[in-house]
């Protein structure tokens, strides 16, 4: 690999973020301080060491074969599944309408390290896989909009002699390791010498610069094998980031996924949601604490699937009689099941409208759990239909947004007291 630095372009690309439309968000229960998002089947923002500190813009893949190449995000032909509701341990499978390959990704946030581990497998005659990572390292804080493009635009990126890939803003460090490894790797400037631009101009990976930056930079590597693992890790030094990535690779996917699963299953086992058996206690608490505003989630989860009204109806009506209780109109499609319909859900929504009125009812999507039965769009359309049949347009707008802003104090000036 050539160790020369990438030439500095005359004009550097503007820094940017990805779309807010996400497939899922994942994190682990443990000592890990990493959160990862996915969209269009690839990794988008990766946050570390806190959930409001994005350090990666996106982390995607190119697939190349004899005489062709394709970015899986742009092909946008993939499936995503999780083993059970609430367990964000996805399997993503990418295919193509024009080329014969299949890329399977199995990511997991390592509970014991600040690392994202990705098990990958690419099949297809003569195909090679190329990870593309766009770092956005830095300390995020409230910033005036004209200065947004400068955030993360001072990063450096480099490849070491063993083809370990790094990036930094000077205080935070990222390391990307592969097992069994890379055959080629390099750093470049986005829009000029990055991997995607190299492929778009040359149809292959031809650039292997040893370093790039400061600027808006990117990392690219050619994986040595069609199956293996990748680890993206973070630390306050290159050695710390490398050690976290190495430890995650050494642990392997199966052991890491098992630890991830144990943590979330234990947490979910202790999770309780409002249900008829818990409503008498909720009524007593709401009566005893009239100065506290309570929000009833998911309409107390009525048994819509079996058409049951009692004791849900009596108890929720009694709870709604307390003026310090509001209710979220959410989660009803999953309570109705995969064969849900507006006709089955309508009677329950009508009662919630009657009891809480247009001032104490708030729409909620219950995404991503709602996708067990319906898409976000279907849930929103159903809510608008049910509300519009009972309320005026201003009242519908209040339920969809205004009430939540008022009840939760969203957009209120700093230091303002919560709403009564």
Q: CATH code at 80?
A: 2.70.98.10
Same structural domain for residues 224 and 320? no
pLDDT value of residue 144: 73
Are residues 272 and 278 in contact, defined by beta-carbon separation less than 8 angstroms?
Answer: yes
Containing structural domain, residue 392? 276-408
pLDDT value of residue 419: 38
386-397 burial, b for 16+ CB within 10 Å, e for fewer? Answer: bbeeebeeebbe
- Give the domain-ending residue among 232, 266, 300: 266
Burial of 338 (0-12, 13-18, 19+ CB in 10 A): exposed
- Structurally, how many domains does the chain consist of? 2
Same structural domain for residues 253 and 314? no
Same structural domain for residues 46 and 134? yes
Per-residue pLDDT of the chain (420 residues; tens, 9 = 90+): 447 999 999 998 887 878 888 999 999 999 999 999 999 999 999 999 999 899 999 999 999 999 999 999 999 899 999 998 778 999 999 999 999 999 999 999 999 999 999 999 999 999 999 999 999 998 877 667 776 667 778 999 999 999 999 999 999 999 999 999 999 999 999 999 999 999 999 999 999 999 999 999 999 999 999 999 999 999 999 999 999 999 999 999 999 999 999 999 888 765 555 667 788 988 998 898 888 888 998 999 898 988 999 999 999 999 999 999 999 999 899 899 888 999 999 999 999 999 999 999 999 988 888 888 889 999 999 999 999 999 999 999 999 999 998 988 876 444 434 333
Same structural domain for residues 224 and 369? no
pLDDT value of residue 416: 39
Residue 1 forms part of a structural domain: no
**The model's pTM:** 0.69
Same structural domain for residues 299 and 256? no
Same structural domain for residues 102 and 184? yes
Residue 12 forms part of a structural domain: no
Residue 234 forms part of a structural domain: yes
Same structural domain for residues 253 and 286? no
pLDDT value of residue 413: 41
Same structural domain for residues 295 and 239? no
Cα distance between residue 361 and residue 354, in whole Å: 10
**Helix (H) or strand (E) run with residue 115 in it:** strand 115-123
pLDDT value of residue 412: 43
Cα distance between residue 229 and residue 88, in whole Å: 19
Residue 108 forms part of a structural domain: yes
Cα distance between residue 152 and residue 200, in whole Å: 24
Please state whether beta strands 211-215 and 155-159 pair in parallel, antiparallel, or not at all (unpaired). Answer: antiparallel
Q: Which CATH number goes with the domain that contains 337?
A: 3.20.20.140
Burial of 26 (0-12, 13-18, 19+ CB in 10 A): buried
């Amino acid at each position: 690999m050539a160790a020369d630095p990438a030439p500095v372009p005359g004009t550097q690309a503007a820094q940017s973020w990805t779309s807010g439309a996400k497939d899922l968000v994942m994190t682990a229960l443990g000592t890990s301080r990493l959160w990862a998002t996915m969209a269009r089947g690839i990794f988008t923002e990766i946050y570390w060491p806190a959930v409001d500190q994005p350090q990666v813009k996106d982390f995607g893949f190119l697939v190349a074969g004899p005489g062709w190449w394709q970015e899986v995000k742009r092909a946008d032909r993939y499936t995503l599944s999780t083993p059970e509701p609430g367990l964000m341990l996805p399997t993503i499978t990418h295919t193509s309408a024009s080329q014969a390959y299949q890329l399977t990704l199995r990511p997991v946030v390592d509970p014991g390290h600040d690392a994202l581990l990705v098990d990958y497998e690419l099949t297809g005659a003569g195909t090679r896989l190329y990870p593309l990572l766009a770092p956005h390292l830095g300390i995020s804080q409230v910033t005036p909009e004209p200065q947004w493009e400068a955030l993360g635009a001072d990063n450096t990126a480099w490849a070491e002699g063993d083809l370990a890939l790094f990036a930094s803003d000077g205080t935070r460090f990222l390391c990307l390791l592969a097992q069994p490894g890379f055959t080629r790797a390099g750093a470049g400037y986005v829009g000029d010498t990055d991997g995607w631009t190299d492929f778009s101009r040359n149809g292959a990976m031809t650039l292997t610069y040893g370093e790039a930056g400061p600027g808006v930079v990117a990392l690219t590597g050619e994986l040595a094998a069609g199956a293996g693992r990748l680890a993206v890790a973070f630390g306050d030094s290159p050695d710390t980031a490398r050690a976290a990535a190495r430890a995650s690779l050494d642990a392997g996917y199966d052991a890491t996924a098992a630890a991830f699963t144990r943590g979330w299953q234990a947490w979910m086992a202790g999770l309780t949601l409002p249900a008829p058996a818990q409503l008498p206690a909720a009524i007593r608490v709401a009566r005893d604490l009239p100065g506290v505003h309570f929000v009833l989630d998911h309409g107390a989860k009525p048994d819509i699937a079996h058409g049951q009204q009692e004791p849900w109806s009596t108890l929720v009506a009694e709870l709604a009689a307390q003026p310090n209780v509001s209710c979220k109109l959410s989660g009803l499609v999953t309570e109705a099941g995969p064969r849900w319909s507006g006709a089955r859900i309508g009677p329950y929504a009508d009662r919630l409208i009657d009891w809480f009125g247009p001032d104490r009812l708030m729409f909620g999507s219950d995404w991503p759990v709602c996708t067990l039965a319906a898409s976000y769009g279907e849930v929103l359309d159903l809510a608008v239909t049910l509300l519009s049949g009972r309320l005026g347009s201003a009242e519908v707008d209040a339920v969809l947004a205004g009430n939540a802003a008022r009840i939760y104090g969203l957009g209120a000036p700093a230091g303002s007291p919560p709403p009564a």
